[in-house]
Amino acid sequence: MMKMERARRAHQEGGNRAEDPLDELLFPPELIMRHRESLDLSKSQGRKIVSLISGFQSGVVETQWKLLDAKAAVRTQLEAGRIDGKALEAALDALFTMENTVRRRHILLRAQLRNELSPEQVVLLRSLR
């Protein structure tokens, strides 16, 4: 029953995303920003949160570009008349490394954002999901 409720909430907040166990422990930036007034963020917290998000976003375009290149390299290998297993493996390794880097950056950002919140704000934000 609880899983169904979490899936429903995930669907409402972000479409058909697969349920992520980290969602119970960390908060997406959009959720914090949407509830900033309810959380009664201090000016200092607000500045730090904006700084963290801005710093994260500044690297997003370059990372997305590299990710597209890595996906294109895999596609090129798969479109070949005969697939070179070693070349495909190298292209997949590059793609998965990039995807892991993106995932790691997202998790680290969410951890930094949570660290900016007081324990009371964390509890409140969990209830506002």
Residue 32 belongs to some domain of the structure: yes
Q: What pLDDT does residue 93 have? A: 98
Residue 12 belongs to some domain of the structure: no
- Tokens linked to 96: 């998965």
For 3, residues 6+ apart whose C-beta sits below 8 A from its C-beta are: 19
Residue 75 belongs to some domain of the structure: yes
User: How many Cα atoms sit within 13 Å of 59 on the Cβ side?
Assistant: 10
Instruction: Indicate which CATH number applies to the domain containing 84.
Output: 1.20.120
- Tokens linked to 100: 């892991």
Domain ranges, residue 66: 22-128
Residue 65 belongs to some domain of the structure: yes
- Tokens linked to 64: 């997305």
Instruction: Please tell me the total count of domains within the chain.
Output: 1
Contact 49, 109 (CB under 8 A): no
**pLDDT per residue rounded down to tens, the chain (129 residues):** 444 454 445 545 554 445 677 888 999 999 999 999 999 999 999 999 999 999 999 888 889 999 999 999 999 999 999 999 999 999 999 999 999 999 999 999 999 999 999 999 999 999 998
Residue 82 belongs to some domain of the structure: yes
Return contacts of 50-56, CB within 8 angstroms, 24+ apart: 52/109, 52/112, 52/113, 52/116, 53/29, 53/109, 53/113, 56/29, 56/105, 56/109
Residue 69 belongs to some domain of the structure: yes
Q: What pLDDT does residue 18 have? A: 53
Instruction: Give the three-class secondary structure for 64.
Output: helix
Residue 111 belongs to some domain of the structure: yes
User: How many Cα atoms sit within 13 Å of 45 on the Cβ side?
Assistant: 15
Residue 116 belongs to some domain of the structure: yes
